[in-house]
Structure formats: structure tokens, C-alpha cells
Amino acid sequence: MLITGGSGFIGTNLAHRLLSQGRSVTILDDLSRAGVDQNAIWLQQEFGRKVRIVVGDVRNYDDVRRALKDAEQIFHFAAQVAVTTSMVDPRTDFDINVGGTLNVLEAARTMTTPPPLVYTSTNKVYGGLQDVPLEASGKRYQPVDTKLRESGVSEARSLDFHTPYGCSKGAAEQYVLDYARSFGMSAVVFRMSCIYGPHQFGTEDQGWVAHFLIRAIEGKPITLYGDGMQVRDILFVEDLVDAFLAAQEHMPKISGQAFNIGGGPERTTSLLELVDTIWHLRGQKPRLYFEPSRTGDQRYYVSDTSKFREATGWQPRVCARDGVRRLFDWLVESRRVVTEELAAS
């Protein structure tokens, strides 16, 4: 199994599941994101030679070819993942997200039997959703339209790339879908909402659930951009791993399609509601600062996952409150372990 970006939060959780099942895993990662080197070390300590880590860059075709050797399945996660970074440096964002994806597709296409590929895209391909009428309800926004409120945004929604990040991820996913159509490769696209869970080193720009928890644990204030009533559906990473494996299992039936993947209407939170959840977990309310909304921010996005559920039988199992608690406990424990290791040294 090849996982590009496999030392990242999502890749680490998938690699752990596959390795625990006795499968061999190759990870291609440049280890540039803060914290991912810790994930790589942890996987090697847990599984030894079963995990092969290729330190390389998806922008380098030779690195991709080297990592792809003997792969039977591909999970392509390597990416520039922050909207804010894409606004500062659109060229690098394009080179990684579009050029890197094309390298993976081309390297796979040259193989005698191209491995089936799962690509992780983003809900940002639907744009800002400014045309969706919203109303305030408590500490959150909700769609005025009852059907949208009950079901979420479906794949029938027109694509509307916003920000360089939305453009690069959208272009990359279209390449993936077209390689399935034009070259007969087996490939699917996940348009993902907010994923959270252990081994996530969230920042203000990406991984906001973990970022909020980290700030609260460290006693630091949390900055909310906008009024904090923005709503997202959140999906625990173990449920996402189940979806990845279901996609590969059902690949002959679902290849060439894009699917919205998230927690759905049953697993939603606003930013302010998550702050209240953290308050309950810690017994202390985090300090809040407010800043203007950022470019490309969606006031409301919830995934309609019915298409994938009906195609594969997949169903999320972890509710939002339990998932946030599990991430909170992991973050607290990981900090305790680091402190003990430093004291021992």
C-alpha cells in the first residue's frame, strides 16, 4: 500500500490500520509539516520493517516512481493543505497539488497494472456557498431550506472553485476523475469536510478542531475569524479510514466518481459550540479573540454522504462529542509523555 503524505495525520491513522492488519505500507513524505516526523518515528517503532518510509517530494517524478514500486493500492494525500498559504504562494500550491497529483497519476499509468487510487479533495471545490440563504439559530447558522438542513450539500452541487487552494485541489480531482475516464484507471475522489483525531497537529490554518483543543490545553486564547457561528460537519479519523478501505473494496463499482465525505448532519458543530465543548472538557472557558472573516470561508458546510453510504454501506460510528473527547485525551496524554521523556533525558 502506498500512502503519499503518509506521515501526516490522516496518512498515519490509515497506515496504522493497514499495518495492524498485517499489510506492508510504503509512505512517501517530505516530512516538512510540523509534527509529522514524530508520526513517522512512531510508526517505525510500532511496526519496524513493515513500514517503508521514502523521504521525497511528490513534485519530483523520480521520487514518486521510487515510492510506487510494487504498490497494489494508492492513497494520495500529499498536498499543500491551507487556504491561507495558497493566498500567499499560489505557485507552490499549484505545483504540489496539481503537479504532484499528475506525477502520481502518470507514474501509476506506466505500470503494467495501475493500482487503484483514492484521492482526497476538499469541500472547498463548492466555493463559498454565498447563494445559500442562512438563518441564525442559537450559536450557529443553518440553511433556511429544510431539505438542505436535513441532508447537507450533495455532489449535485455545481463546482465553484474559490481561492488558489480550491482551484488547485479542484483541478487535481478533475485530473483523477478524467484518468479514470480517459485511461481506464481505477480511481475515486473524496471531497472531504473537517477530519479530526489522534496524531493531528492542528494549526490556525488547517485542522481547526485540534488547533482549538491545543490552544485550550496550553492555556492560550483562541482566535475566531468571523462571528464563530460558522457550521461544519466533523468526521473522526477512524470513520474516515473505514471509508478509505470501503472505497478500495468497492472500487470496481464506484471508480470514476467523486463522493462527499464528512460527518453529515448528525455530526455538526459551530465554532462557538466547539468552544463550549472544550469548556466542558477542561472546566475552564478558553479566552476568545475575534477577527474579520477570511477569504473563501464558508459560513455553512455540511456533507450529504448518502451517495457513498448507498454505494458501499459505509456508516460513521463515532459521534462528535465522543470523538472530540478522544482527541482531547490523546493531546493531553501525548504532552505528558513528551514532558516525561524530557525530564528523563
* Percent of the chain whose predicted confidence (pLDDT) is above 90: 90
What is the pLDDT at residue 205?
75
Q: How far is Cα 43 from Cα 52, in angstroms, rounded to an integer? A: 10
Decide if 4 is inside a domain: no
Decide if 59 is inside a domain: no
Give 265: exposed, middle or buried? Use CB within 10 Å, 0-12, 13-18, 19+. middle
Decide if 118 is inside a domain: yes
What is the pLDDT at residue 33?
85
Q: Give the pLDDT band of residue 340 (cuts 50, 70, 90).
A: low
Q: Report CA torsion sign: 218, 220, 224, 227.
A: positive
Cell numbers 460537519 correspond to 233
- Kindly state the average pLDDT of the residues 265-283: 96
What mean pLDDT value characterizes the chain?
94
pLDDT at 206 over 90: no
Decide if 266 is inside a domain: yes
CATH of the domain at 251: 3.40.50.720
pLDDT at 183 over 70: yes
pLDDT at 343 over 60: no
Beta bridge partners of 196: 236
pTM above 0.85? Answer: yes
Contact 177, 189 (CB under 8 A): yes
pLDDT at 152 over 80: yes
**Three-class HEC string of the chain:** CEEECCCCHHHHHHHHHHHHCCCCEEEEECCCCCCHHHHHHHHHHHHHHHEEEEECCCCCHHHHHHHHCCCCCEEECCCCCCHHHHHHCHHHHHHHHHHHHHHHHHHHHCCCCCCCEEEEEEHHHHCCCCCCCEEEECCEEEECCHHHHHHCECCCCCCCCCHHHHHHHHHHHHHHHHHHHHCCCCEEEEEECEEECCCCCCCCCCCHHHHHHHHHHCCCCEEEECCCCCEEEEEEHHHHHHHHHHHHHCHHHHCCCEEEECCCCCCEEEHHHHHHHHHHHHCCCCCEEEECCCCCCCCEECECCHHHHHHHCCCCCCCHHHHHHHHHHHHHHHHHHHHHHHHHC
Q: Decide if 179 is catalytic.
A: no
What is the pLDDT at residue 342?
47
Q: How far is Cα 250 from Cα 87, in angstroms, rounded to an integer? A: 37
Q: Give the pLDDT band of residue 337 (cuts 50, 70, 90).
A: low
Decide if 181 is inside a domain: yes
Full domain range(s) for residue 293: 79-344
Total tally of structural domains belonging to the chain: 1
What is the pLDDT at residue 345?
57
Decide if 229 is inside a domain: yes
pLDDT at 119 over 70: yes
Residue 56: closest CA among 114, 4, 108:
4
Rg (CA), the chain: 20
Q: How far is Cα 197 from Cα 327, in angstroms, rounded to an integer? A: 5
- Kindly state the average pLDDT of the residues 147-160: 97
- Kindly state the average pLDDT of the residues 277-284: 93
Q: Give whole-number Cα distances, 38 to 34, 250, 304, 316, in Å.
A: 9, 33, 34, 28
What is the pLDDT at residue 37?
93
Of 141, 165, 179, 300, which residue is the catalytic one?
165
Q: Give the pLDDT band of residue 35 (cuts 50, 70, 90).
A: confident
pLDDT at 344 over 60: no
Q: How far is Cα 15 from Cα 25, in angstroms, rounded to an integer? A: 7
What is the pLDDT at residue 339?
53
- Kindly state the average pLDDT of the residues 316-330: 96
Residue 218 CB partners (closer than 8 Å, separation 6+): none
Tens digit of pLDDT for each residue in 127-143? 999 999 999 999 999 99
Decide if 64 is inside a domain: no
pLDDT at 223 over 90: yes
Decide if 37 is inside a domain: no
